[in-house]
Each structure stands twice: as C-alpha cells, then as structure tokens.
A and B are shown apart, each in its own frame.
Chain A
Amino acid sequence: MPHFDQTLDVKGAKCPMPLVKSRKAIAELPVGQVLQVISTDRGSVADFQGWAKTAKNVELIAQETVQENGQELYVHYLRRTA
C-alpha cells in the first residue's frame, strides 16, 4: 500500500460520484500530497486511469483491489502535482 495523506470513502457511490468527489478533494489537498480513494464502483478503475491521463494536476500513483466482507473495494492513490 503506497503512502497517503488523506482518505476519501466513496463506498456505495455510483458513477460519476466517485470521480466528482475525488476532483473536489484533490482541489482541497496541499500540492504534493496523496489522496486515497476507496470505491465500490468497478468502473472507477478504468475511469480514474483515463481521468489522470488528461487531468492538469493529478497523478495516479497506484490502484489496488481488496476484499472486504465479501465485497470488492477499488482503491486509488492520487497525488496532487500542482
């Protein structure tokens, strides 16, 4: 698990909310810090990759899938770069 500074829990939130909330959280994060986003939306994996590619100040450091109480969690690590 990569180092992170803050966590955003968007479990249960459906597309596009995980990304909407992450965008907002990144905007409030100090430059250089890392945000951990915990989602149950499988589509978020590809969408966060696509977003990070075009976003101005977001770098996707890592993504992992973990099991919690029989459900899959999709965890993203995003650094604010500027």
Chain B
Amino acid sequence: MTLTQNQSTATEISPRELYARLLSAQPFFILDVRNEEEFKRMPIEGHATLRTLNLPYFDFIEDEEAALARMPKDVTEVVVVCAKGGASQYVAEVLNNHGYRAVSLSEGMIGWGNYYDVRDVVSKEWGRIVQIARPARGDLSFAIISGEQAVLIDPLRHINVYRELIDHAGAKLTLILDTHVHADHISGGPALAKETGAPYYIHPYDAIHPIDMLPAVIAYEPLRDGQVFQIGQVRITTIWYPGHTLGQVNFLAETPDGGRYLFTGDGIFLRSFGRPDLGGKGEAWTPILYRSMFEWLPRHLTDDTVILPAHFSSLEEDAGNGIFAAPFAQVRAQNDSLRPRSLEEFTTFVLSHLPVFPPEYVEIKRVNIGLVEPCEGKASELELGKNICALAG
C-alpha cells in the first residue's frame, strides 16, 4: 500500500460512539497501536467482554505481513486506537485492505481522555441531578439544578461542559462545592468561580498542602461540618468526613419528594473506598478514616440513600445506563471493603491494599490550591491515565 497525503480515509469512530460500545458490554475488539509503554500506562478499559491487543503501528510499517499474522484469527471487526488518531487511521486502512472491517478512533487517546459524558441521574418536578463523567479517567462530577439555580459538585478541569449544561437548562450557577482538594485531577472549581462569580467552597483543612504545609493562594470559602445550602427546592448538608484528606466532606442533598442523595467524593466508592495515604500520612490518617466511615457517616445513611461517588474504578460499576450511583443497601451488599472491622483489622486491610502512589499527585494538589499554575500541555500530562484514588481490589 502506498500512503499519499490525499489518501481515502478509513471510517472513524468518535469517543462518544466508543463509550456507548464500552457501556453496552457487547463483545468487541480494540487494536491499540501505540508503543507498549504508552499502552500500559493508559489502556482503554471496559467490561470483561472487551478484548484488547497491543500491536504498535511501526510493526505494521516495518513488516505488514508479520503484523497481520499476529491478529487474532476469529476477529473481523476492529476498533483501532493510537495517541492522536493518525497511526490508527493508517493501520485501519491496512486492515481494511486485508478483509477486516476496521474503524479508527478519531483524535485517539487524547480525544478519549478529554471526552465528557453527561446524563441525568434523576429528573423530577423539583429539578435534576446530572452526572458529568470523564470516563477515561473514571472521574465523576455532578450538577444539581432546581428552580433557576445550579450547584456543581467536584467539577472537572474542562469547565465549558458545565457552563453549557447550566446555560442550556436556563439556570444560573450559584454555588461550587468540592468534596475535597483532589490529588488525581485538576479541579474546575477555581476557574468556574473566577468566570461566573459563584462562590467556591472547600474545607479549610484541605486548603493547606499536606506535604508542603503551604496555604492555598486561590480564593475560596471555608466549608464547615453541618453547613447547609439551599439550591431551589434542594437542601444540601455538609458532612465532614476526614480520612482520604483531612478536609474531605460528603454532601447530602435532600429533595422535596423525600429523596436522599449522598455525594461521597473520595469517601465511599461503589466497590471500594478512598485511600487515606495520598497526604503522605497513611498510618496517621487511617484511624481518622475509620471513625468517619464507621462512627460518623452511618448516622446519615439510610438504605435508600443514593451513593454518588467522585470515581469509578471499572465500568463493571455502571448501575445501568452509564450512571455510577446506587442506593446504600446495594452498595453495602456489593462492597466488601465496607464490611465492619475492628480498627486493627481495618488498618491491616488498608495498609495491605494501597496501590502505587503516583508521584504527580503531590503536584496536582499544589495546582488545586494555586501554588502552581500549569500550562495546558503540563495540565493534561499531569492528568494522564486513570485515577488511583481507591484501595486496590
């Protein structure tokens, strides 16, 4: 095959279509043509039905026949992915010339990493709760819209997604809440506050970098335990939940129809919970997390309280329709890590399930309280890969 500048292009699949396929749990095959190192750092993950093979594009350029011979024999339909969408286009064409039906992921992993999925968790007379996910990273954020007011909880870095959502709903952003100062991704909170004038709240304990011991230089309002906010007909109560960070809070939203929605941040996840070591003091913070989890939070939990965490670790946590939320009774039944334990057992469990500590997490916390201001390139480099905020499974 000769490659010229005005070649016909192989069919593309958009990040949105890719995500729909990943959620559907239908079996399909991804050929990742990046180099091995990049592939290992951030593969596309899906349900157990997803098969992925890494065959770098340069293997196709070096020896096309040899590379084709390494394709699985039972596959005809292929989604090809690379870093930016160029090499996958090249390989998809090679495959199409050899009897495969191959499509290339447009904009590659960069496009996938920056793709946001927006969908309603609930939509009622009093208003809506909207989940805004960044699926490649397993990051979840939320909007509550009621009357003409909107609050954002844990907004992510690409703030236009939120501005469009709220504009489209004919509402005004009146409140920005972060459950904690994040370590794995850059918050959109401070930038949204600057652009819209809405107040940005974090707990003051998180406004000190836990390793540098330097105070925040961004503008923020201090959250306190028990603080109540009213957004239209929805009442939001702040519940201090130290452990993952010292200033971690949960927000309990109560709706006029008796609904209870608990935004847990990096507290409880659907299948795990937030690790207590990202402040560099895992042994000291583990007993604090224990008290939050087993003594303080249960007072606010009912079986039908819907748990809405800030992360998922696997698409298997999808409760249906791409919503990563479930009533507490179901979470308790599915999440073995929440099982009652003595403090000693809990400590042993936590310390033996800590995943790697990504070194960039220290820097991301600096960014989130304004100690460092990265350019766009640096910011997306810091956010490469999926979050590692949960205990290892």
Residues A54 and B35 in contact, CB atoms below 8 Å apart? no
Residues B61 and A14 in contact, CB atoms below 8 Å apart? no
Residues of the B chain whose Cβ atoms lie less than 8 Å from the Cβ of A29: none
In angstroms, how far is the closest chain B Cβ from the Cβ of A66? 19
Residues B90 and A16 in contact, CB atoms below 8 Å apart? yes
Candidates B35, B37, B62, B84; contact of A23 at CB < 8 Å: B62
User: How far is B3's CA from A46's CA once the two chains are assembled, in angstroms?
Assistant: 22
Residues of the A chain whose Cβ atoms lie less than 8 Å from the Cβ of B35: 46-47, 49-50
Task: Say which one of B51-59, B204-212, B359-367 lies at the interface with A.
Answer: B51-59
Candidates B3, B62, B84, B87; contact of A54 at CB < 8 Å: B62
Residues B38 and A46 in contact, CB atoms below 8 Å apart? yes
- Most A Cβ at <10 Å: residue of B58, B82, B87: B58
**Interface size grouping (class) on chain B:** 10 to 19
Residues A20 and B90 in contact, CB atoms below 8 Å apart? yes
Among residues 56 to 76 in chain B, which have CB atoms less than 8 Å away from a CB atom of chain A? Answer: 56-59, 61-63
Residues B56 and A16 in contact, CB atoms below 8 Å apart? no
Chain A residue nearest in CB terms to B108: A15
Contacts A15-B84, A56-B63: A47 and B37 contacting too (C-beta < 8 A)? no
User: How far is B36's CA from A29's CA once the two chains are assembled, in angstroms?
Assistant: 28
Number of interface residues of A (CB under 8 A): 16
User: How far is B369's CA from A32's CA once the two chains are assembled, in angstroms?
Assistant: 55
B86 beta carbon closer than 8 Å to chain A: yes
Residues B62 and A14 in contact, CB atoms below 8 Å apart? no
Residues of the B chain whose Cβ atoms lie less than 8 Å from the Cβ of A15: 57, 82-84, 86-87
In angstroms, how far is the closest chain A Cβ from the Cβ of B55? 11
Among residues 13 to 61 in chain B, which have CB atoms less than 8 Å away from a CB atom of chain A? Answer: 35-38, 56-59, 61
What DSSP secondary structure best describes chain A's contact surface?
Answer: helix
A43 beta carbon closer than 8 Å to chain B: yes
In angstroms, how far is the closest chain A Cβ from the Cβ of B8? 16
Contacts A23-B61, A23-B62: A43 and B83 contacting too (C-beta < 8 A)? yes
Among residues 80 to 96 in chain B, which have CB atoms less than 8 Å away from a CB atom of chain A? Answer: 82-84, 86-87, 90
Among residues 319 to 334 in chain B, which have CB atoms less than 8 Å away from a CB atom of chain A? Answer: none
Contact bitstring B339-367, A, C-beta under 8 A = 1, else 0: 00000000000000000000000000000
A82 beta carbon closer than 8 Å to chain B: no
Residues of the B chain whose Cβ atoms lie less than 8 Å from the Cβ of A19: 57-58, 61
A1 beta carbon closer than 8 Å to chain B: no
Residues A47 and B84 in contact, CB atoms below 8 Å apart? no
User: How far is B61's CA from A56's CA once the two chains are assembled, in angstroms?
Assistant: 12
Contacts A14-B84, A15-B86: A56 and B37 contacting too (C-beta < 8 A)? no
Contacts A16-B57, A20-B90: A55 and B62 contacting too (C-beta < 8 A)? yes
Contacts A20-B3, A20-B90: A50 and B83 contacting too (C-beta < 8 A)? no
Candidates B36, B38, B61; contact of A16 at CB < 8 Å: B61
Residues B56 and A47 in contact, CB atoms below 8 Å apart? yes
User: How far is B53's CA from A68's CA once the two chains are assembled, in angstroms?
Assistant: 38
Residues A50 and B58 in contact, CB atoms below 8 Å apart? yes
List the 6 closest pairs (A to B, CB-CB), nearest first: A51-B58, A50-B35, A16-B87, A15-B86, A16-B90, A55-B62
CB pairs A–B below 8 angstroms (24 shown): A15-B86, A16-B57, A16-B58, A16-B86, A16-B90, A17-B3, A17-B86, A19-B61, A20-B3, A20-B90, A23-B62, A43-B83, A46-B35, A46-B38, A47-B58, A49-B35, A50-B35, A50-B37, A50-B58, A51-B56, A51-B61, A54-B58, A54-B62, A56-B62
